[in-house]
Amino acid sequence: MAKGDVRPDVGQKTNPIPNGDRTIPRSIPFSILTAIETCITAGKSGDINASLSLKLPFFTSQVSAGFPSPADDYLENPLDLNQYLIRHPAATFFVRSSGDSMIKAGIHNNDILIVDRSLEAKNGSIVIAVVNGELTVKRLYIKGKNMFLKPENPHDPDFVITQDLAFQIWGVVTSVIHEFKSHS
């Protein structure tokens, strides 16, 4: 055997990957090990999305008052809020609102906003913007070459975007999660 030849049964054993993918060693914080192992197990079974979903019963009858009948006739397929509310998971993040400047849009203090960074902000979109280093949620309006952020509260003034401001749109708000405090 010449120098540099591969010697069988010597060195680190390889664990064959069924589809021939390469492997890369990584350090994983112990605190998230269980979650990663769950994803790996789901990935081996070919259904990684199943491990990340939570499907709950979804009643098709509309509720005007009271609770819908739990009869099976009114059950539709289970509803997974991740699939329903998040169209682009890799580009989506959550942020908590503060203040009452968007109260007329249904965004209350301390609500959780679902923000999609992959969507293009259009005239009338509710956006998360950074203005001079501070995050804000407002409705974006564009008139010609002028752009401004409009609160949904008649007591708050519009905010005109000028070239002097450091301004960036972080994403479009697609949904709001509002928790009623009276149930606790």
Average pLDDT over residues 89-102: 92
Question: Which residue, among 115, 120, 112, has the nearest Cα to 91 in the 3D structure?
Answer: 115
List, for residues 115-156, the tens digit of each pLDDT value: 999 999 999 999 999 999 889 999 999 999 899 999 999 999
Residues belonging to the active site: 101, 138
Tell me the C-alpha distance between 149 and 133, whole Å.
15
pLDDT for residue 4 is more than 60: yes
pLDDT at 44: 61
Tell me the C-alpha distance between 92 and 174, whole Å.
10
List, for residues 5-55, the tens digit of each pLDDT value: 767 666 665 555 666 666 667 777 776 666 667 666 665 655 555 556 666
Could you identify the residue written with the tokens 């059950």? Answer: 75
Question: Which residue, among 129, 80, 121, has the nearest Cα to 101 in the 3D structure?
Answer: 129
For every residue of 81-137, DSSP letters joined together read HHHHH-S-GGGEEEEE--SSTTGGGT--TTPEEEEETTSPP-TT-EEEEEETTEEEE
pLDDT at 81: 87
Q: State the Cα angle at 17 between 12 and 19, rounded to 5°.
A: 150
pLDDT range class, residue 65, cuts 50, 70, 90: low
- pTM score: 0.64
Compare 73 and 122 and report the one with higher pLDDT: 122
pLDDT for residue 184 is more than 60: no
pLDDT range class, residue 79, cuts 50, 70, 90: confident
pLDDT for residue 182 is more than 80: no
